[in-house]
């Protein structure tokens, strides 16, 4: 294994271990709040914890056994590193993550009595389910056009989340606004990354493949290929194009998932404003 790849992979593993510890700590903190916060809020945060566990553990698995899906490249020679396994883990984890988004958006829209926010909350999960279908299409056929659509849908969903948070701003108390601002800025940064970096990257790959006349697999061929073929590479040249998004995805996105567990309990005041309970 090249030095650069080892340092990157080791850093991913360390971050993942810290994330698992943070998840365990979050579970303990939440348990201590039982009986202190309202029962409905506790139930909501407990569901956030369960969903976050799916995402955190899924990302930890993918950090330990990273896979470059379309190229069928992995770090270790094992079926556990195959694309079919890695993509399946990713699908479950990502659906857990976006369900966290949807629950938060629904909570906010109910407090603000925002119909657009409620509709956005209902739309996010189907949008990401469609994004997962597009991702599987790309992974199986090796055509990156599916990834272009997938990442665009993720960006749109994040934009809906930011819009939902912004709808709360006029009705939020001064104590709540710093939290809202931090969440909105994080969401905006994510949307910018998706549409300025991630989507163009996959688009350029698809254009290059089309220009070279690349032969794509059928779906059935793709299932067999992802199940039984993987190329082990531990050289920086094979991984350098994936390092940025994987590093951000397995760190910042996971921290956001854990942060959802600790979202303060909100309440609607008599004047219609929303504040921290």
Confidence check: pLDDT of 267 > 90: no
- CB distance 186 to 101 below 8 Å: no
Domain ranges of the chain: 3-263
State the DSSP code for 235: S
Share of the chain above pLDDT 90, in %: 65
22 pLDDT above the threshold of 90: yes
Long-range contacts, 26-35 (Cβ 8 Å, 24+): 26/52, 26/258, 26/261, 26/262, 29/262, 30/261
Nearest alpha carbon to residue 2 among 231, 239, 234: 234
Mean pLDDT of all residues in 241-262: 91
Q: Do the beta carbons of residue 82 and residue 74 sit within 8 Å?
A: yes
**What local confidence, expressed as pLDDT, does residue 137 receive?**
96
Closest of 81, 206, 230 to residue 151, by C-alpha: 206
Q: What pLDDT does 273 receive? A: 66
What's this model's pTM, rounded to 2 decimal places? 0.89
Q: Is there a contact between 246 and 59 (Cβ–Cβ < 8 Å)? A: no
* Whether residue 67 has pLDDT greater than 90: yes
d(CA 30, CA 46): 7
Q: Which two tokens stand for residue 237?
A: 């040249």
Residue whose C-alpha is closest to residue 69's, from 87, 94, 48: 87
Which residue, among 202, 197, 201, 172, has the nearest Cα to 184 in the 3D structure? 172
What pLDDT was estimated at residue 152?
A: 96
Per-residue pLDDT at 199: 94
């Amino acid at each position: 294994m090249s030095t650069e790849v080892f340092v990157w992979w080791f850093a991913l593993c360390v971050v993942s271990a810290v994330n698992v510890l943070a998840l365990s700590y979050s579970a303990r903190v939440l348990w201590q709040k039982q009986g202190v916060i309202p029962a409905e809020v506790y139930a909501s945060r407990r569901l956030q914890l369960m969903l976050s566990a799916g995402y955190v553990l899924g990302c930890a698995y993918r950090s330990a056994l990273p896979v470059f899906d379309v190229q069928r490249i992995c770090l270790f020679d094992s079926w556990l590193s195959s694309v079919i396994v890695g993509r399946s883990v990713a699908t479950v984890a990502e659906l857990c993550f976006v369900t966290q988004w949807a629950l938060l958006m629904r909570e906010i829209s109910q407090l603000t009595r925002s119909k657009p926010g409620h509709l956005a909350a209902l739309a996010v999960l189907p949008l990401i389910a469609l994004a997962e279908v597009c991702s599987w299409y790309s992974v199986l056929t090796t055509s990156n056009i599916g990834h272009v659509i997938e990442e665009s849908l993720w960006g749109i969903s994040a934009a809906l989340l930011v819009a939902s948070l912004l709808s709360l701003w006029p009705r939020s108390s001064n104590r709540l606004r710093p939290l809202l601002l931090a969440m909105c800025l994080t969401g905006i940064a994510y949307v910018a990354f998706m549409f300025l970096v991630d989507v163009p990257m996959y688009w350029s790959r698809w254009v290059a493949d089309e220009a070279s006349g690349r032969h794509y697999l059928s779906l059935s061929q793709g299932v067999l290929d992802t199940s039984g073929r993987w190329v082990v590479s531990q050289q920086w040249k094979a991984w350098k194009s994936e390092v940025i998004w994987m590093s951000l995805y397995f760190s910042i996105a996971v921290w956001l998932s854990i942060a959802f567990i600790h979202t303060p309990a909100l309440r609607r005041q008599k004047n219609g404003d929303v504040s921290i309970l």
